[in-house]
Amino acid sequence: MSGPSVFLPGSTIGVMGSGQLGRMFAIAARRMGYRVHTFSPERDTPTGQVADVEICASYEDEGAVRAFAKGVDVLTFEFENVPVQSVEWAAEQCVVRPSGRVLHVCQHRLREKEFLQASGLPLPAFAPVTSEAHLRAAVERLGIPSVLKTAAFGYDGKGQRKITAESDLAEVWSSFAGQAAVLEAWVPFEREVSVLVARGVDGSTATYPVCENSHANHVLDLTLVPARISEFAAREACALAVQAAVALDLTGLLAVEMFLLPGDRLLVNELAPRPHNSGHFSFDASVTSQFEQQLRAVCGLPLGSTELLRPTAMANLLGDVWGDGEPDWAAAAALPEVKIHLYGKAAPRPGRKMGHLVALGATLEKAQEQVQEARRRLRRQP
């Protein structure tokens, strides 16, 4: 649907999805005077708790999707795995940013990798896999170790298997239950990094400082900003992120995850056309948070400054932290440069993202020390 290119404060923003990314987006939007409606199959969600309106319906419910879209001025997303058909229904009723094409590319690993390859972006070698025979041929070509990933709906390490010399390929393929997959060559990276880039309606872009990320059990554990990499690698990472955003013709926010190899060589790993876990630091440590930047981009406003105010570290809080009972929030809050963010999820479960901590420091080392100490303090001592 064509419509105005600029949506000023007072407009209503629709968010497909209702998790913690939508929650923080809604907080930023309401602070700037926008109304927020959220749509997902669940009730009392992290986003719904702070939105003006929470709609609970299936993404496959055409009537509900169209009615929701009619009630907003511009629609955006807090996760990319919204059915393409739902996006098309919505686009007939309101302005949608980013476009359905962007989601279509980024919600499927094989499409995403083929897009990156066609756009001239560097990435690990890969091969599509749709059968055990394909898997055996791909392993023969790409070597061992390698990683088999589901082509669709993978997130936080779900749907992934590492292939080693000891792997039973028949068993590995059986565990995928016939799902299309992608085999990726193993990358001997030195660091995992990410770049957040915003692109406005007018084609302007703004990148955040490069994030350095470490994972535990395939889930982001700690982010340090700015990344401990060379100035050359930082410039190259930001340039690759902008290249990806331009190639997608994105309006909105894009997170580009990359591997840093020896010799400052970078390979693109994944794209996420939305705010990203590694960008949570920006709520406290940047002039403009990633959530406000997403809002500015999709509403056609000028992009904000991405300046980092101080070195910062972010630590995820998973449900495991609740293993000994309610965490000791006062103990963590006693560290004055630590910020506590909780997502309003009622039931902590091992591995479930429940919140995060951010620490600002005079140095990156001090910020990392503080955020890790705060997380340690949350676990009540016997």
Q: Strand 53-56 vs strand 35-40: parallel, antiparallel, or unpaired? A: parallel
Residue type at 242 in one-letter notation: V
Domain layout of the chain by residue ranges = 12-96, 125-185, 191-378
Residues in the chain: 382
Of 282, 242, 275, 198, the residue nearest 15 (C-alpha): 275
Q: What is the pTM of this model?
A: 0.95
How far is residue 157's CA from residue 62's CA, in Å, rounded to a whole number? Answer: 31
C-alpha 242, offset from chain centre: 16
State the CATH class of domain 125-185. alpha beta
205, HSE (Cβ side, Cα atoms, 13 Å): 20
> Would you give per-residue pLDDT tens digits along the chain (382 residues)?
666 789 999 999 999 999 999 999 999 999 999 999 999 999 999 999 999 999 999 999 999 999 999 999 999 999 988 999 999 999 999 999 999 999 999 999 999 999 999 999 999 999 999 999 999 999 999 999 999 999 886 655 567 899 998 889 999 999 988 889 999 999 999 999 999 999 999 999 999 999 999 999 889 999 999 999 999 999 999 999 999 999 999 999 999 999 999 999 999 999 999 999 999 999 999 999 999 999 999 999 999 999 999 999 999 999 999 998 999 999 999 999 999 999 999 899 999 999 999 999 999 999 999 999 999 999 876 5
Contact 85, 59 (CB under 8 A): no
The CATH H-level superfamily of 191-378 is ATP-grasp fold, B domain (3.30.470.20)
Same fold, 12-96 and 191-378: no
Selected from 3.40.190.10, 3.90.650.10, 3.40.50.720, 3.40.50.20, the CATH number assigned to the domain covering 12-96 reads 3.40.50.20
